[in-house]
Amino acid sequence: MGLLRLIQKFKLRYGSQETVIKTLREMGVQVGERCRIYTANFGSEPWLIRIGNHVCISNDVTFVNHNLTWPFQDKYESLTAFGKIEIRDNCQIGVNVTILPNVVIGPNSIVGAGSVVTKDVPPNTVVAGNPARFICTIEEYEQKCLARHIDIPNDPQEARRILERHFWGEDKAETRK
């Protein structure tokens, strides 16, 4: 790995969000506005990746822009199999997701943690698994989130107190202090 690639990896892993986005754009990734990106795994062809507006990409997401052709190299010396990856507007990609080439993740979609995305994700859906498959619509997921919502304050200590009481009960929260 060359020095430039090492510096880029360092910036992607430890830089501010502003630095991450600037570095990705320098690498050739097309990145929209208001994105949060927490991974450094953009493969060897980052210029084949397009990320829309208001997209959150969690830790350890891996982008793979090529298929496996090694077994055919003796037969076809220059055989290649590259593919683009596109994540459209208002999506969230969970922790440790792998996105394979020739995939479009439709707008307003969520890919659950640990998923392997092998084909296009339709708009307004939640997918998860290996391979990633339909779980529910984004509207159904929104209702699930609203049903589980816990109103917590901005103060971290008060938020902890409320969450401990909610999940551990009055007695358990007091004994953990």
166 is annotated as an active-site residue = no
Q: Which parts of the chain fold into alpha helices (H)?
A: 3-14, 17-27, 138-148, 156-175
Yes or no: say if 82 and 101 are a contact pair by the CB < 8 Å rule: yes
Yes or no: say if 52 and 107 are a contact pair by the CB < 8 Å rule: yes
> Residue 170: exposed, middle, or buried by beta-carbon count in 10 A (0-12, 13-18, 19+)?
exposed
> Residue 84: exposed, middle, or buried by beta-carbon count in 10 A (0-12, 13-18, 19+)?
middle
Distance of alpha carbon 30 from alpha carbon 12, whole angstroms: 15
Q: Which parts of 15-54 fold into alpha helices (H)?
A: 17-27
Q: For residue 73, give the DSSP letter.
A: T
Q: Which residues are catalytic?
A: 66
